[in-house]
Structure 1
Amino acid sequence: CLALHLLVWHLAPPTVPLDPGHQITSSAFFSSARLILASIVIIPFALKTFFPYLWMDFLYFGDLLRILVRFVSRRRRIPLFFALDRFFEQTAAHPDRPFIVFENESYSYTYTDKRSNQIANALRSHPGYEAGGTVALFMGNEPAFMFTWLALAKLGSPVVLLNHNIRTKSLLHCFNCCKANVLIYLIIVPSPELKQAVEDVLPSLLEQGVTVLLMTTHCSTAGLESFSVKVDEASQAPVPPSFRSHITFKSPAVYIYTSGTTGLPKAAVINQNHLLKTMAVLSSNGVMSSDVIYVNLPLCHTAGFMIGFIGSVETGSTIILKRKFSASQFWDDCRKHNVTVVQYIGEIMRYLCNTPKRENDRDHKVRLAIGNGIRAEVWKEFLNRFGNIQVREFYASTEGNVGFVNYAGKIGAIGRVNFLYRKLFPYMLIKYDTKRDEPIRDANGLCVESPKGETGLLVSKITDIAPFLGYSHNEEQTEKKRIRNVLRKGDLYFNSGDLMRIDKDNFIYFQDRIGDTFRWKGENVATTEVSDILTMSDCLKEANVYGVQVPGNEGRVGMAAVTVKQGAQFDGHKIYKHVVSYLPSYARPRFIRIQTAVELTATFKQMKVKLVEEGFDPGRMQDPVYILDDNEKSYILLTTQVYSSIISGNLKL
């Protein structure tokens, strides 16, 4: 419009009287107008050239401001407002909207509310339960997982989310470290594997006076109580608010297990305040009530529970729930249910890209994929093959106090950093000595900040806005995640355990993990735990566990350099049976290297760097290397032919 107006003035130049005795010609006016027009054109061009992400930054800060205002508003409500209350609001607003769709069954918000009331009322009358007591859930991805969590939230009980892949020692450890007094164990379709897992630890649980409830109509195992009939017969009446009147923002809501850096799994404390904050993850990424969200990640983990489940409670969306991820069913499910938003981890994206190409690969309604861990080359391939899907890569950890979002869509980055965000959540990258496994400090004992473009350890200041709540009943491991005297004497930061790099455009990239943890199949594997399990066997004396890279695979696959006890021999069949009994599939070492002695550092720490560099190539080492073979149910000798098959991708791990 401005250009057209100026064109008219140019074609028919009038004179414009200003005041008596003064006139300005159209040419003078047009010169001024051209200057204005040039500014209008040049300024956006200059901003686009020198500040290409400025508009995205403004939009992102607008989202942050909106989230902050909503959060503060909820914090000021009387009575106190929690995640459960948002579910009540959605149920009142959309009573008949499908909340969960699972295996061709649809459950509305109203049904979910009433079913959770039945579970809560059945628990209230059960002699093994005390209102407000901590309860452990040992469940897979089922609607009853969500029904039961809502029921316990209505009763004011913190909930321990147990990974249904853990067994024996790890299962007992996870249960005990949160002091749970009720274990609700669910089998919708009876699973002999899960039933066996509970029976293996049942004597220990019964010795502690633990009540074990099984959601089936009949159970013949002594010590396990059938619970489904009681739930079906229970009232659908709402649970009185008085049962949760003791809850504050600092009260624990859930305990989610993380491998962290060392040792057995640790229960990260997620309080009500933190749960209320994380509800906004989906909505801050543009997810609305009309969206249909595909949740195939485990509900016992942070992404599945806090983003998929609780995030959908915030938005009022419909959840398409899967027992587990299936690459072959993924897009068919999305088409069948008109899915618009999907969750992912890096492995999922790679699996999808590895499926055979089909003519209808782009025939879907998915517009947004949100998750973490996707590699740049997989990201590009995913977009080229499956269409213009917005990928929102983010960085966060279960117990951490800082996170990043790649709202600009820069392929390969985990987020974008800026001055204002750093003021709200003070963080920095510090120089780290990977060989000595410790931060580099100056002459004053303070940490040294990594220059832009160089890799450093991500640490984040612990503040009231960004607290670190630590691990339940594990002060030793909590303290290991704290790092002191970073910028000045006496300050306190959270040690993320992750090495990062920030480029010249302020995008941040994940580089690697430090310490005794690696990631495989989307799970954190704590090397100390695996090492402890291996040395419990009859023939192994020492075990140095680490992760090695395999071409074409995300993360690192588990490997152990071990020594054999004097007078014993390595028995592949016994070791296989041992690790299968004690470790989930993702944590079982795929390779075992037999050494005469485990190398130690000067400070008597196990040497890992050299072992990691040597990998699992039998041609590079004189030590014999064995590979886990599920068909043989044993560890068998790794040959050069098998190694070549793995490297070429013909043999999948």
Structure 2
Amino acid sequence: IPHFAAGMGIYIFSLILASLLTLPFALRAICPYLWMDILYFWDLLRILVKFVSRRRRRPLFFVLDRFFEQTAAFPHKPFVVFGHESYSFAEADKRSNKVANALLARPEFKAGDTAALFMGNHPAFLFTWLGLAKCGSPVALLNHNIRSKSLLHCLGCCRPKVLIALKEAVEDILPSLREQGVTVLLMTQQCDTPGIESFADKVDEASDAPLPRSLRSHITTESPAVYIYTSGTTGLPKAAMVNQNRLLTALTVLCSNGVSSSDVIYLNLPLYHTAGFFIGFIGSIETGSTIILKRKFSASQFWDDCRKYNVTVIQYIGEVMRYLCSTPKRENDKDHKVRLAIGNGVRADIWREFLSRFGNIQVREFYASTEGNVGFLNYVGKIGAIGRVNFLHWKLFPYTLVKYDTERDEPVRDSNGLCVEAPKGETGLLVSKITHIAPFVGYAQNEEQTEKKRLRDVLKKGDLYFNSGDLMRIDKDNFIYFQDRVGDTFRWKGENVATTEVSDILTISDCLDEANVYGVKVPGHEGRIGMAAVTVKDGSHFDRSKTYSHVVNYLPSYARPRFIRIQKAVEVTGTFKQKKVKLVEEGFDPGCVQDPLYFLDDNEKQYIPLTPQVYFSIISGEIKL
């Protein structure tokens, strides 16, 4: 019996030991993403604790206070490098003091007044924003490419007292600015244009003495910090008001992805945009990282810059990765120190090509919007996904996908007037509950557009959700995928057509480089039919037969672009979003469109030139669609 008991004890011990040893493998097989989920939960809780502790600090703690902490801790560490210029944290602090003191010396400006920045990527942008923050002034970040009507509209949204610019691109609206009492300051040593004053010379002469904290005593967590404008792809830009609390949360983006003070961040995205300002600039204030600032994105200079400055973290949006993959291959493509790429909008095929060509870089795709109240992070690295659904995230930021009628351009509702949730695996509109933790502030001076983003009676009577305007899909493994923008998706022959999917198919053809897909109206037909504005690859020509065969082989009949417009370049916004509104308005009339037009002819089994005769045959109904 003793021997039997001893043997059983050894057997049971061995069984327990074997179970413990095989448990990780079993869990990996059953729940392959469990450990990553746990690590993400931990990061989420850690960030939440830090955020709550900062919210409880007195006096109130803001992004500027984090900059002061970094300046005290690393005064001589390079903060921003711009070409041959390098500025430490201490130098940035003093330069921003000069900006603030120069502004406060002006009789028309006082602490707390709103200012507008009309600048490209330049260290002066960063110093001016910091100086205005020290004055307790909200700042409107204007796209420096806009002009006349759009520029006046953007200024009207925030009503600034001063407009600080880097170039004299405001001359044509000076009379209107004078009427509104806006002072225009040019960041130059001298200016001969009547009505515009030089400002850089005043900054150089100003004191670099620190600004008293009392200048910011009026600020609360709900006070406006910055106004960031939508790209205006569907009309005039809207000013999303970002309050101090929201800006404080932006501090967490880079550190939540493992970025630290030892990292060097390559910032070539526009500073007036959320990605460049929130992630590149504000995120670096939190981490204490060095910013390599570029005027604009350049695919040809990108990797040489990364090697020159020992860059470890890069940002991307939209088509940036595709542009990089389109450059001529080099033997030193993998010779760099970049370990992390963070951004959104990369296609799955480009993602794979990017990793294959440029090496083992961790790609952190995320989803967020300037004014939105929910975001996702693909912490697993699943190619193509924008994030992963999990319970804790959902509890903090309740959201769901609801069925959407693209023909009526509204959510589907049941007999009780409530939205219908989209089953897993099906495409639905992302809506997120508006709560104290996840608020929606809206757009400045635009209650109509703000209300359009509010969706009521979603899952129960009286509830209130934010309408993201984005169509998503969640797969069986709980990964979430961006499908399309509402308005980009169109309906033809009773079927929904996702423009991004059609665009992806077109650009894997032999001769096409870029494709901007949209739906156009045809008289006598319901819905919209597919059309694509495309560019042809260098050294190629538009092969009408091969392109026809390609779309027929890859796309169902209702999704095939019946019209193709050849352009020299696909028009994009400053943040690489394709412009569609003008293209939709111009349609496929060869009398109005100067670019070459083609029509998919099933009889000829190729794309044929869209002549006026073919056009009138389509309009009259002689040619059946």
**Normalized against structure 1, the TM-score is what?**
0.79
Contact 1:134 1:182 (8 Å CA) reproduced: yes
Alignment of 1:272-351 (within 5 A): 272-351=244-323
Q: Identify the match of residue 183 of structure 1 among 163, 187, 190.
A: 163
The AA in structure 2 aligned to 1:456 is G
Change (3 A) 1:345 1:150: same
Matched to 1:382, the amino acid is F
CA shift, 1:612, in A, is 3.3
Shift of 1:42: 2.5
The residue type paired with residue 60 of structure 1 is Y
Which of 135, 138, 144 aligns to 1:155? It is: 135
* Equivalent position of 1:610 in the other structure: 528
Contact persistence 1:453–1:501 (CA under 8 A): yes
Match for 1:356 among 328, 331, 337?
328
Q: Which residue in the other structure is 2:54 paired with?
A: 74
Residue 210 of structure 1: how far off its partner (Å): 1.0
Equivalent residue for 1:225, pick from 178, 197, 204: 197
Change beyond 3 A, Cα 1:517–1:426: same
Give 1:389's aligned residue: 361
2: CA distance, partners of 1:621 / 1:55: 44
Q: Is the 8 A contact 1:124 1:130 kept in 2?
A: yes
2:400 to 428, 432, 436: 428
Are 2:107 and 1:135 equivalent residues in the alignment?
no
Structure 2 residue 594 is the aligned partner of structure 1 residue 636: yes
Asked if structure 1 preserves the Cα contact closer than 8 Å seen for 2:241 and 2:371, the reply is: yes
Equivalent in the alignment of 1:172? 152
Q: Distance in 1 between matches of 2:320 and 2:96?
A: 31
2-side partners of 1:471 and 1:555: how far apart?
A: 33
- In 2, the alpha carbon distance for the partners of 1:600 and 1:133 equals 55
**Structure 2 counterparts to residues 393-412 of structure 1, below 5 A:** 393-412=365-384
Distance (Å, rounded) in 2 between the aligned partners of 1:638 and 1:484: 45
Q: C-alpha distance in 2, partners of 1:626/1:345?
A: 25
In structure 2, what is the Cα distance between the partners aligned to 1:341 and 1:185? 29
Separation of aligned partners in 1, 2:530 and 2:64 = 46
Q: CA deviation at 1:515?
A: 2.7
- Measure, in 1, the Cα distance between the counterparts of 2:92 and 2:316: 25
1:264 aligns with 2:236: yes
Q: CA deviation at 1:611?
A: 3.6
Mapped partners of 2:260, 2:120: distance in 1: 27
Q: Distance in 1 between matches of 2:607 and 2:268?
A: 33
Report if aligned partners of 1:628, 1:636 keep a CA contact under 8 Å in 2: no
Measure, in 2, the Cα distance between the counterparts of 1:113 and 1:453: 51
Deviation at 1:321, TM superposition (A): 0.5
Of 61, 76, 100, the match for 1:96: 76
Hey, what does 1:569 align to over in structure 2? none
- Measured in 2, the distance between the counterparts of 1:501 and 1:555 equals 25
Distance between the aligned counterparts of 1:232 and 1:247, measured in 2? 28
Q: Aligned to 1:452, what secondary structure does the other structure show? A: coil
- Are 1:46 and 2:26 counterparts? yes
Whole-Å Cα distance in 1 between the matches of residues 329 and 608 of structure 2?
23
User: Any conservation in 2 of the 1:267–1:472 contact (CA below 8 Å)?
Assistant: yes
SS at 2:528's partner residue? helix
Q: Which amino acid aligns with 1:83?
A: V
Distance, in Å, in 2 between the alignment partners of 1:263 and 1:305 is: 23
Q: Distance in 2 between matches of 1:626 and 1:388?
A: 36
User: Please, which moves more after superposition, 400-409 or 21-30?
Assistant: 21-30
Alpha-carbon distance between aligned partners in 2 of 1:625 and 1:555, rounded to the nearest angstrom:
12
Give the 3-state SS of the residue equivalent to 2:292 in structure 1: strand
Corresponding position of 2:612: none
Name the residue aligned to 2:616. Answer: none
Paired residues of 1:498 and 1:514 also in contact (CA < 8 A): yes
Give the structure 1 partner of residue 496 of structure 2: none
Q: Alpha-carbon deviation of 1:40?
A: 1.1
TM-score, reference length from structure 2: 0.82
Calculate the aligned-residue CA RMSD, in Å. 2.9
Contact 1:142-1:321 within 8 A present in 2 as well: yes
Displacement of 1:600 = 9.4
* 5+ residue gaps, structure 1: 1-20, 188-194, 519-545, 562-596, 602-606, 647-653
Shift of 1:313: 0.0
Alignment of 1:182-261 (within 5 A): 182-187=162-167, 195=168, 197-259=169-231
Structure 2's unaligned 5+ residue stretches are: 491-498, 535-541, 549-559, 571-591, 600-605, 610-625
**Distance between the aligned counterparts of 2:608 and 2:380, measured in 1?**
39
- Name the counterpart of 1:557: 516
* 8 Å CA contact 1:628, 1:635 repeated in 2: no
Larger radius of gyration: 1
Q: Deviations over 1:236-278 (max 9, x none)?
A: 1001111111000000000000147853110001000001011
Residue aligned with 1:483, SS: strand
Report the Cα offset of residue 186 of structure 1. 1.6
The DSSP-based 3-state class of the residue aligned with 2:185 is strand
Distance (Å, rounded) in 1 between the aligned partners of 2:153 and 2:365: 33
Partner in structure 2 of residue 6 of structure 1:
none
Distance 1:296 1:248, change over 3 A: same
SS of structure 1 residue aligned to 2:319 = helix
Tell me, in whole angstroms, the C-alpha distance in 2 between the residues paired with 1:637 and 1:111: 52
| 8 Å Cα contact 1:292/1:341 also seen in 2 | yes
Cα deviation for residue 358 of structure 1 reads 0.5
Distance of 1:560 and 1:440 partners within structure 2:
21
Give the partner amino acid of 1:372.
Answer: N
Displacement of 1:636 in angstroms is 2.6
SS in 2 for 1:255: strand
- Structure 1 residues 494 and 554, CA gap change in structure 2 (3 angstroms): farther
The CA distance in 1 between the partners of 2:564 and 2:30, in whole Å, is: 57
Distance 1:60 1:637, change over 3 A: closer
Corresponding residue pairs, total: 546
Query: Secondary structure in 2 aligned to 1:612?
Result: strand
Question: Are residues 600 and 58 of structure 1, via their aligned partners in 2, closer, same or farther at CA, if it must alter by over 3 Å?
Answer: farther
Q: Which one-letter code corresponds to 1:287 in the other structure?
A: V
| Distance (Å, rounded) in 1 between the aligned partners of 2:450 and 2:284 | 31
Distance 1:370 1:637, change over 3 A: closer
Identical-pair percentage:
69
Larger mean Cα displacement after TM superposition, 129-138 or 393-402 = 129-138
